Structure 1
Amino acid sequence: MALGTLVKALQNIMRKDAGINGDAQRIEQMTWMFFLKVYDAKEEEWEFHDDSYESVIPEELRWRSWAVDSKDGEALTGPELLDFVNNRLFPGLAGLDLPEGAPLSQVIVRQAFTDANNYMKDGVLLRQVVNAIDDAVDFTEYKERHAFGEIYETILKDLQSAGNAGEFYTPRAVTDFMARMVDPRLGESVADFACGTGGFLTSALKLLEEQVETPADREVYSRSVYGMEKKQLPYLLCVTNLLLHDIDQPRIFHGNSLDRDVREYRHEPDGLFDVVLMNPPYGGSENDAIKNNFPVALRSSETADLFLALILYRLKEHGRAAAIVPDGFLFGSDGAKVELKRRLLEESNLHTIVRMPQSVFAPYTSITTNILFFENGRPSEGVWFYRMDMPEGYMHFSKTKPIRLEHFDPVIEWWNNRREIDEDDHPKAHFYTPEELKEGGYNFDLCGYPHEEEEILPPDELIKNYKAERERLDAEIDARLSEICSILGIEL
């Protein structure tokens, strides 16, 4: 089967199955099978290079034992295949008995199936999907494995239109741009504490791969990235993604990065990183037990705020970070947001904020987002704000017209030759001193968009946007009121 038609063919087969409802479940169904297929190919490599290698997976549960159809009538199908997958494969992999200190290449198998699901109810259709995957790509062939990377990217992009699953995927153009600007070097550690499908990590790996020249460099490369993901589907996608990038021991963990006192990391060098690239989840909230893992001044009901605080605690001295935040963070005036912005200015050399246009994350969300670039260990000398406008000919981004890396070319050109820019009496790029930002009440809503295109949005998006606009106006009114009271000598 041609690689270009693989994903569509798989989705068409699964649409006939009564157990699968929607694109998100179809993607999850494909993902656990791709994982086992890729893992089996990696095991062939490990066996070839090490005669003593023994699989952690029981022989009957290995892909080569049950999934490969030799066309001799012996392959499991129908009710027998369904029974095997539901009652032996999934429980067997989720319950693997691993010794303490087992290598990550073994741990990821158990973690991958701890919360995984088989949604298909028709064993004949399941056999058709398994055969299509097994016949499509020979992962032991280097060229085919890397050609499959394009198909895997198609699966990840499909997440954006798969309901809430879209929250796990950041457009590749954005991850590539951020990684390029932060410029990780071989020997540095790169982390994403809510890594989703691994987009930031693989963007960093592409840059690190170019620096590999010796076998020793390859060893350093293989230990370069770290990630943690709370939800099962993106975790499994991420692990498979890294295996495809020849990371045999992926340091990717299934859990909540916020579920620990952040102050402890300052005493653990292994918990600190040279580079952090992140799109922290926003719009969510954590319970009080999670908030208690942060100093009182940084406790927030907004998940994105907590992750930003986590970055501050887990960056090494002189470490570099790029993080995406919604507009609400820029103009937010609650205690945690103001304290975060104060620390970014006074302790973490916040030096650049790139304001991205609406619809970068469409169709998942139309909330406007921004990229913060900062470094740990010294105060900011001032912050450059740059407004990234829509490319010529675009009203908005969409699934069929997504943001591309070349759309960042004007940003990169400006980045390397910084200057203030005004367009139609509105600042497009401007430098603000720390004093100016402090005097403005830490309102970072600067170099914004002078004209918003009116767009008909779903009710939930309208509500989110109205709430964000109300917060922005409240912050602006509070700042003006505080300024007036200060002039008049009146206490609020």
Structure 2
Amino acid sequence: MVVQDFTVKTKELIDGLKSVCTSYGLGNDGNEFKIITQVFLYKFMNDKFGYDVKQIDENLKNAEKWEKAIALYSEDEYEMLLMTLNPDSAKLKRDHFLSTLFDRQNQEEFAKYFDNTLRDIAIFNNDIFSVKTGTGAKITLFDELSNYISDSSQRDAFCRAIVNQLVNFSFERIFEQKFDFFSTIFEYLIKDYNKDGGGKYAEYYTPHAVAKIMADILVDAPVKNVTCYDPSAGSGTLLMNLAHAIGEDRCTIYSQDISQKSSGMLRLNLILNNLVHSIQNIIQGNTIKEPYHKEGEKLMKFDYIVSNPPFKLDFSDYHAELDSKANHERFFAGIPNIPNKDKDKMSIYLLFIQHIMYSLTTKGRAAVVVPTGFITAQSGIERKIREKLVNNKMLRGVVSMPSNIFATTGTNVSILFLDAANTKGDIVLMDASKLGTTVKEGKNQKTLLSPEEEQKIIDTFNRHEAVEDFSVVLSYEQIAEKNYSFSAGQYFEVKIEYTDITADEFKAKMDGFKSNLSNLFADSRSLESEIQKQLEGLRFE
């Protein structure tokens, strides 16, 4: 009941913040998502700080208002309290508290005070919470949010309205909840800001069903102290599901994404899901052109990799840089050519697959969303990649998903599973295209999988189970014999039904066939005679 209540209240808070933005002319504005997500993060950090200090000091825990009790600390006592906090916790000065902002909201130039407070929090926690770019520059937690209001006379009122939304309830009683609660809240928080309207680098939100299937197939046994990587991380849905399947305290997250907006969202996702220790590994940059994560001069290898890369994208402006000797091993199958027209249709996903294969440890596993056409293409880069996956014995299987599993694209997709240690074979190919229920989402059709259907896919795959017209289990040799096709349907048996009958039953059936044929032939002759009579009766007038 507590979780349901807080889910409702949290969604009401998000809706309230959106309402404030709308009232001040920022509804559907390009900067609205920054205001909503950053203010939400400030609220979360304030309440989490209160929760954390109460675990340290019993007096604060028993106080009616912890902010008033903590105000009585001397400077040295307060400094000691901050030093006692978990290294991954946000550290706040007493001037940073939400209660302080609320008490001072009627002072002159409140918007400036509001912005300065958030900026000082960012500086105070820069080593923990900043996202790095590929060049090493740090992107801090908070912008000067009031500056998004073009009418400067409205900024104080806007910031007051924001603060008044934040004081209606506290998150403190919900911090012992983990992934399920905060993943739901995160999806609701960003649902209007992670759609396919982002221009060249449009961001697509990976459906929960796809993320769960990928994670639960990859992690089929307990592991610890492993590295997890997404080279096109977006807002981190795949990484969060993977970390949850492993255990947030048993893995370290690494990512790279070209989008500043997505990197900021991923940072928020990590904070909400108890993965603050990995924020330093979140990089904003171009993975294909300039992969960031390295060990010495060589690219880093990872235990688990998940990715839903962009399928088509114009990368002609750095195409020549990729076709260099330094990249020949990474892009072993080649680099897609630059077409004369429609450069936006360059198959950049083929570069991501090759990069992922190159980035796996000797026992590493990966799951990659690919267009279903990839699994059967009989020539080009697609074929070369599939041949290497089979010949190097690093294919674990493929699940072909229902159409419209992504509401934002009609492209049919499959999930490609890699396992560098799968030398014995037992590859699972699955056709799940007939599962799911089609629903309307906005202007688009979307297919939803039920929890039972999701589990059917996961269990069948992990048990290496062959199910008629659904899944097959194959060796590498069998796949090579079928021209390296990864399509389950090409391996399904064509079955002919046989029924045992007696000689008398056979004679009766044959007599029935003969009788029917005789009747049909008689009808045919009668019809032929009638047609001839009609033709003879025709006269030219």
- Scaled by the length of structure 1, the TM-score of the pair is 0.70
CA shift, 1:375, in A, is 0.9
Contact 1:228–1:254 (Cα < 8 Å) also in 2: yes
Which residue does the alignment assign to 2:77? Answer: none
Relative to 1, partners in 2 of residues 1:149 and 1:313: Cα closer, same or farther, differing over 3 Å? closer
Contact 1:326–1:367 (Cα < 8 Å) also in 2: yes
**Of 395, 411, 414, which residue of structure 2 is paired with 1:367?**
411
Correspondences of 1:331-350 after superposition (within 5 Å) = 331-332=376-377, 335-350=380-395
CA deviation string 1:365-402 (max 9, x = no partner) = 2211110111115657364321113546x235637974
Q: 1:229 aligned to 2:267?
A: no
Which residue does the alignment assign to 2:537? Answer: none
Contact 1:322–1:371 (Cα < 8 Å) also in 2: yes
CA shift, 1:354, in A, is 0.4
Contact 1:232–1:254 (Cα < 8 Å) also in 2: no
CA shift, 1:177, in A, is 1.5
2: CA distance, partners of 1:30 / 1:115:
12
Which residues of structure 2 form unaligned runs of 5+?
Answer: 1-7, 57-79, 337-345, 491-541
Residue identity in the other structure for 1:366: G
**Of 272, 282, 285, which residue of structure 2 is paired with 1:253?**
282
Contact 1:7–1:151 (Cα < 8 Å) also in 2: no
Which residues of structure 1 form unaligned runs of 5+?
Answer: 210-217, 423-427, 449-492
1: CA distance, partners of 2:400 / 2:162:
43
Q: 1:29 aligned to 2:35?
A: yes
Correspondences of 1:201-350 after superposition (within 5 Å) = 201-209=239-247, 220-221=249-250, 223-251=251-279, 252-256=281-285, 257-260=287-290, 271-286=300-315, 287-288=318-319, 289-290=321-322, 292=324, 294-295=327-328, 297-300=333-336, 301-332=346-377, 335-350=380-395
**Of 5, 16, 21, which residue of structure 1 is paired with 2:12?**
5
Which residue does the alignment assign to 2:229? Answer: 191
Q: 1:395 aligned to 2:438?
A: yes
CA shift, 1:191, in A, is 1.7
Secondary structure at 2:428's aligned position in 1? strand
CA deviation string 1:133-165 (max 9, x = no partner) = 353433585258875553223124444557349
Larger deviation, residues 274-283 vs 298-307: 298-307
Which residue does the alignment assign to 2:76? Answer: none
Correspondences of 1:22-101 after superposition (within 5 Å) = 25-42=31-48, 51=81, 53=83, 65=96, 68=99, 72=103, 74-75=104-105, 80-83=109-112, 96=123
Contact 2:399–2:429 (Cα < 8 Å) also in 1: yes
2: CA distance, partners of 1:115 / 1:442:
51
Contact 1:32–1:236 (Cα < 8 Å) also in 2: no
Residue identity over aligned pairs, in percent, reads 19
Which residue does the alignment assign to 1:473? Answer: none
Contact 2:213–2:457 (Cα < 8 Å) also in 1: no
CA deviation string 1:441-473 (max 9, x = no partner) = 54545539xxxxxxxxxxxxxxxxxxxxxxxxx
Contact 1:384–1:431 (Cα < 8 Å) also in 2: yes
CA deviation string 1:341-385 (max 9, x = no partner) = 2221122521211011121110x2221111011111565736432
Q: Which has the larger radius of gyration?
A: 2
Secondary structure at 1:384's aligned position in 2? strand
Relative to 1, partners in 2 of residues 1:359 and 1:235: Cα closer, same or farther, differing over 3 Å? same
Which residue does the alignment assign to 1:418? Answer: 465
2: CA distance, partners of 1:403 / 1:266:
44
Q: 1:128 aligned to 2:166?
A: no
Residue identity in the other structure for 1:227: S
Contact 2:426–2:475 (Cα < 8 Å) also in 1: yes
| Superposed CA RMSD | 4.3
Secondary structure at 1:51's aligned position in 2? helix
2: CA distance, partners of 1:370 / 1:391:
13
User: Taking CA–CA contacts closer than 8 Å with sequence separation of 6 or more, which of the two structures ends up with the larger relative contact order?
Assistant: 1
2: CA distance, partners of 1:4 / 1:175:
23
How many pairs are equivalent?
421
